Amino acid sequence: MNFEENPGLLIKRLSHAMDVEMGRRLRAHGLTESQWRILMVLWKGEGRSQTELQERLGLERATITGLLQRMTAQGWVLRRSDPHDKRVLRVYLTDRSRELAPIAARLVDQITTQVLEGFSADERQFLHRLLLRALQNMEGQ
């Protein structure tokens, strides 16, 4: 297999292109792609600790701390001490970040539509099944 046919490289290039486009679209809302990733986790369940966010997103401690400090200053999140362990900071959404959720969902839908342009419904389903199977192969399931 030559380098250009490596599925991992193609998937990585596609993922990067999608991330760049999402970042470009998010800038109009005053948000970076990295900040959006944090909000995605919090939209699924807020009140997570900084450590949970760090582990879930695969970021370094200093990176998540800096991101959260900027997001707090910009009004995207609130950080509060855990009532049971004052050493733990929990992260919560603000009204501003809650209002962005449906906008971000529309952006994701738009980018997904762009990526899958010209694909039939069957091709979309088939691609989805193939990607899931490849992921399961790598995760040992």
- Domain of 57 in residue numbering reads as 3-139
H-run or E-run covering 90: strand 89-93
Q: How far apart are CA 101 and CA 60, in angstroms?
A: 25
| DSSP letter, residue 83 | S
Could you give the percent of the chain with pLDDT greater than 70?
A: 97
31-55 confidence digits (pLDDT tens): 999 999 999 999 999 999 999 999 9
pLDDT score at 6: 87
Query: How far, CA to CA in Å, does 108 sit from each of 36, 55, 128?
Result: 11, 23, 16
Whole-number Å distance between alpha carbons of 81 and 83:
6
> The domain spanning residue 122 has which CATH number?
1.10.10.10
Query: Is the predicted pLDDT of residue 1 greater than 90, yes or no?
Result: no
Work out how many domains the chain is built from and give that number.
Answer: 1
Q: What is the pLDDT of residue 5?
A: 78
Residue 2 clears pLDDT 80, i.e. is over it: no
Which tens digits make up the pLDDT trace of 111-130?
999 999 999 999 999 999 99
48: left (phi over 0), alpha (psi -120 to 50) or beta: beta
pLDDT at 3: 67
Please state the rounded mean pLDDT for residues 64-79.
Answer: 96
Per-residue pLDDT of 86-109, as tens digits, reads 889 999 999 999 999 999 999 999
Q: How far apart are CA 139 and CA 53, in angstroms?
A: 21
CB 32 within 8 A of CB 22: no
pLDDT level of residue 62 (50, 70, 90 thresholds):
very high
3-state secondary structure of 79: strand
pLDDT in tens, 4-29: 778 889 999 999 999 999 999 999 99
